[in-house]
Structure 1
Amino acid sequence: MNETTLTISESSYGGVFFTTRAISRNALGAGFQGFIYIGDFALPSVAPVNLPPKNQLQAISSGINYETHVSQVGWMNQVADGAVSGSTGYHLAVEAIRLSSGNPSINQAIRYRTHVQDIGWQDWKTSGQIAGTTGQAKRTEAVQISLNQPVSEYYDIAYRTHIQGIGWQDWVTTGQVAGTTGQAKRLEALQVKLVPKKISQGSTSPSNAGFSYRSHIQSFGWLGYVLNQAISGVTGLSMRLEAFEMIYQGKKDNIQLEGHVEGIGWQTSSGITGTTGQSKRLEAIKIKFKNDLSKKYTIQYRVHVQDVGWQAWKKEGEIAGTTGQAKRLEAIQCQFIPKS
């Protein structure tokens, strides 16, 4: 188009040829008012939605694992042992949670539930189940987490929540409410961890009058010294025994211990065997008395083995436990029989 001429491109309905023709502005007549021009208009730019990145996936822990379903994001990656799941600073609601453990005993003991927008408290869930909702755009407002026995005898479960308009709340423990109810505030992030309790087993010092023995247990360290026929270690918790010590009247000289250790094999020493600080399971043990002690006492012992339970009693250097099966010892019991 110019000041005097308008060029039109047109074709017949259903036709295959386009024709153009020029029309003089003067030929349009006195009633011509103007024309409509459709220009190249760009759509208005829309700012991208600011969403949190999914956290880095963490390995399955023998402690506690958990994940959150976040509004507009979906399921976050799994985290463990006190890491943050969810988001802060993005104003997005956690809509559901899911908890588990790599330790079979702990996994079976986990219970949790959520308080959900327009629903209230849901039923208690067990490991791997979803607490909350997905696909309904309903915010989670509070959580409760607990442990069943016997795990609750050895662990507390601690957790805290990041709440809309409040931020991080204080840590709470087994069964307490984290979050809010009746305030219409969304839960935005979650942290969970296991806290080992002090195990009151035996005494802090060995007996000076006879035999004493103790075990070093995964996550708990050295337990107390126990006496004749007592159980040292923990059963029902799927925790590995890592080291073992035995003392007679304050001495280890005439007590020969051999332990079969994960990745190492058999070790032999006086009064102590295994490792600490290396996360290695003790898989089998042999106990034998030497010199004058062997003339005074016969030693009998038995062990509690992963997936097996209590084995039969052994004596005088016989193997208790397993080798080549990657099974942990979990507890040991000894008895000292005086020789006549």
Structure 2
Amino acid sequence: MIKTFLIGLLIFAVFITAEAQCLEGDCKNGFGKMDLVYCIYEGTFVKGIPEGAGTMYYETYRYEGEVQKGLEHGFGRIIFEDGSYEEVEYYKGKKIESQYIKVEAQDYKSYQAKRDPRCVSGDCANGQGEYHFPSGNKYKGNFKDFQPYGNGEWDFANGDRYVGTVSNGQKEGNGTYHYSNGWRFTGSYQADAEYTGTYFAPNGQTVKVLNGTVQIPKPSVSYTITTGGSPQHPDHERCPMCNGKGTIMIPGRSRQIQGSPSYNVYRSTDGKVSREYAGSAPVYTVRGPDRESTCSICGGTGVVKW
């Protein structure tokens, strides 16, 4: 309290002679740079007082964040000389809560701070919380090292929804994804992609996924069972594919063969023989013989059970 009071006195004294302390820019109602005696402030000013957002340069660190009446007030971060960060919250110049997290600059992700206003409830660092992303996506569930991790629920801005396990912000493990068009997928995920499971369509159709590959179903062949089973087999009917013969004919393979070109032959008066190309070589289509094969539907019996 004494420190804050003394700083307040300094601010009051400094602002009386604000013109002499303004180093550059607009230190009245705009963006400027001012020597506040206890630090150098660079940021926005309102009626000659640091107000809004700015940077306060101290001897061994700097503060970047919200400022009110010349004091740190609200959320911000302290950046040390070695480049490490400390997420902080101030109240009228007094630090009331912080997460002392020192990480490399390239690993830092601003939205991951526990005190991030987008963390609307709970603990979005290492616990259970709810986070609203700038994209409109929402996550509610477990967090680990500031990342969605474990069991959780995603509500996406496009209307899709995922309920299941996640790892480092991606779908990983078992879960169900509900698409906004009525489809859904239930199964396992790897690296945010469907790995093994089943798609369910609104009309009841299903499509399998195995090891990351969609299993395209083979087209089904339907046959109409005709009447006419033998008295010895009243529970059987004549096979419609082979008409009770037990075998089917498989057409022979067709292929094309090019013949030899034709020539006109002439004999001259001196006895010499010459020939002249008469036209293009003919092409013949040759078809192999048909062959008989066992009917796969009835297995050669000629009848099917119904």
- Scaled to the shorter chain, the TM-score interval is under 0.3
User: Quick one: higher RCO (CA 8 Å, sep 6+), 1 or 2?
Assistant: 1
Q: What TM-score does the superposition give when structure 2 sets the normalisation length?
A: 0.22
Q: Give the TM-score normalised by structure 1.
A: 0.21
Q: Which has the larger share of strand?
A: 2
| Higher-Rg member (1/2) | 2
